[in-house]
Chain A
Amino acid sequence: MRAGALLDQSSAAIAEAVRSRAASALAVAEAAIARIAARNPALNAFTDVTADRALAEARAVDAAVARGEDPGPLAGVPFAVKNLFDIRGLATRAGSLIGRESPPAARDAAAIRRLRAAGAVLLGGLNMGEYAYDFTGENAHDGPTRNPHDPSRMAGGSSGGSAAAVAARLVPIALGSDTNGSIRVPAAFCGVYGLKPTFGRLTRAGTVPFVASLDHIGPFARSVRDLALAYDALQGWDAEDPACRRKAAEPVTNRLSLGAAGLRIARLGGAFDIGATAEVIAAVNDCAAALGVARSINLPEIPRARASAQIITAAEAGALHLDRLRTRALDYDPATRDRFLAGALVPAPWVYAAQRFRRWFFERVMETFRGVDVLVAPATPFAAPPIGSAGTIEFGGRDVPVRAAIGLFTSPFSLVGLPVVSVPAGRSAEGLPLGVQIIAAPWREEHALRAAAALEAEGFASCPAPAG
């Protein structure tokens, strides 16, 4: 198979071709560089293409194969990262004007080093909403990432470039970060799989923080197996991330074939049915039916869970940026700066109330997981809106800004650190992709990934190829 055609295949297929010498890692990297050059101008997913480095890394993979060594399960697989991950030799933008003035990173983020150790080849940095305070994928400094399924639509954010690059077949794997939904939202809008693992599972060392008590990193891919391969390569404790829990790796790739067998699964109703379009509800119902779900359950106090995430996010982010805001506020993206400024002014009792509620909500969620292993819920209330959408929509009897409404179904789960797979399932009336969240108890990524694999195997979840 030609290297260019391999880019349309899975990571597993690329790695097998490279390890068996059916294709060289160099040819795959060259094909990826050519494809990025051809397709990225219309998408604006990549902000930095590390072509020379990719070619050198690919040659090293081929040399290892020639010596009879195994370069790893991701041998020669191209990948790229949201540009808040440090890339050795590049200034880390984090989607900001200010970030690109910083000195070049001295070394790669830990997650990049781990994927490299598994044989993957870094192709570059990806566009994102400024400092990750975003659900749209728009960026005043670098321009918006465009949705590969309709370039007039948002890619979703804040990891918009990551989802778009995978959906458009520029790379089979990308990394992003998720604080309130920034992996799951763009995965849903662009029609790919995204995994937000348990809080503390994957190391964030070498990434620009947004909200330390809520930040996660995770992979995007076009198949559940690729998602699991990347996740397995990323696992393991790291002393350089204080939130990373000292847990042994728990590989899941070889357990995907178990599917949903034995899992107790319920559909989330109540607040997760309010505000969603009919097509979103239908996608959730179809996935629930495919998984044999017979019951719908409610979680308590979802509006307060959203409020808790909103307050903690604003306050931590505002405090983190306080020094920069004092002197550089007007260098921020107008879409983020006023929220950062307001966050810096939040009274402490608001934050304390949010953190106390967060504990209460976590305990109620854990009570739910005594009787169930997996929950199914929509990822977003609607498909990707047009780029530049403003104004408000009616949501549960309240007027909510469109841009905030995008994340209302994702923030309650990141608030309590649950592992979630966003699976591409269903289509909007306009033919745009939709996403469904598959949610598991803390440290049970395997349950969410197995349920996602069952949906994929039965044809209820798949990554639609963009037209053209």
Chain B
Amino acid sequence: MVDASSSPAPAPVTRAEAERLLEAVSAALALPIPPPCLPGTSDALVRLSEAAALLLSFRLGERDEPAPVFRP
């Protein structure tokens, strides 16, 4: 088992990386991004990656459960 604390958390994506992420995932999801939306969507992805970097750099144990719990 890999020690979860041994890998560095990713930094926020750059604008260029956000554009590549957008291109790849939108193609995989069959979600065309209209040209007027491209700059704003890339900007929003950069902001979300900044939030994600904060969370991914917060070390939790493998047994720390996520919040939503399904109650059958």
Q: Give the B-binding residues of A (Cβ under 8 A).
A: 213, 301, 303-304, 306-308, 310-311, 314, 322, 325-326, 329-330, 334, 337-339, 341-347, 349-350, 352-360, 362
- Chain B residues, Cβ within 8 Å of A310: 47-48, 51
User: Binary interface profile of B, 46-72, with partner A (CB < 8 Å = 1, else 0)?
Assistant: 011111101110101000111110000
- Output the least CB separation between A49 and chain B (Å): 34
- Whether A350 lies near B48 (C-beta < 8 A) is yes
Task: Decide if B14 is an interface residue (CB 8 Å cutoff).
Answer: no
Pick the contact of A354: B34, B37, B41, B55 (CB < 8 A).
B55
Residues of A contacting B21 in the complex (Cβ-Cβ under 8 angstroms): 345, 347
Q: Taking A304-B58, A326-B30, A349-B56 as contacts, is the C-beta distance between A355 and B66 under 8 angstroms?
A: yes
Are B55 and A359 in contact, CB atoms less than 8 angstroms apart? no
Q: Determine whether B8 belongs to the interface, using a CB cutoff of 8 Å to chain A.
A: no
With contacts A303-B54, A342-B41 taken as known, whether A355 is within 8 angstroms of B48 at the C-beta atoms is: no
Q: Which A residue sits closest to B23, measured CB to CB?
A: A345
Could you tell me which residues of chain B, from 14 to 38, have a CB within 8 Å of some CB in chain A? 21-22, 25-26, 29-34, 36-37
- Minimum CB–CB distance from B33 to chain A (whole Å) comes to 6
Q: Do the beta carbons of A359 and B67 come within 8 Å of each other? A: yes
> Which residues of chain B are within 8 angstroms of A349 by Cβ–Cβ distance?
56
> B66 near A352 (CB under 8 angstroms)?
yes
Contact indicator A345/B25 (Cβ below 8 Å): yes
Give the chain A neighbours of B55 by CB distance below 8 A: 304, 307-308, 311, 350, 353-354, 357
Please give me the residue from chain A that is nearest to B45 by CB atom.
A342
Q: Which residue of B lies closest to A310 (CB)?
A: B51
Chain A neighbourhood of B22, CB < 8 A: 342, 345
In whole angstroms, how far apart are the Cα atoms of A337 and B40 in the complex?
9
List residues of chain B with CB within 8 A of the CB of A307. Answer: 50-52, 54-55
A115 CB to nearest chain B CB (Å): 28
Beta-carbon contact of A213 and B67 below 8 Å: yes
- Can you identify 21 A-B contacts, CB atoms within 8 angstroms? A303-B54, A307-B54, A311-B48, A311-B52, A329-B37, A330-B37, A342-B22, A342-B41, A343-B44, A344-B29, A345-B29, A347-B25, A350-B48, A350-B56, A352-B66, A353-B52, A353-B58, A355-B68, A357-B55, A358-B67, A359-B64
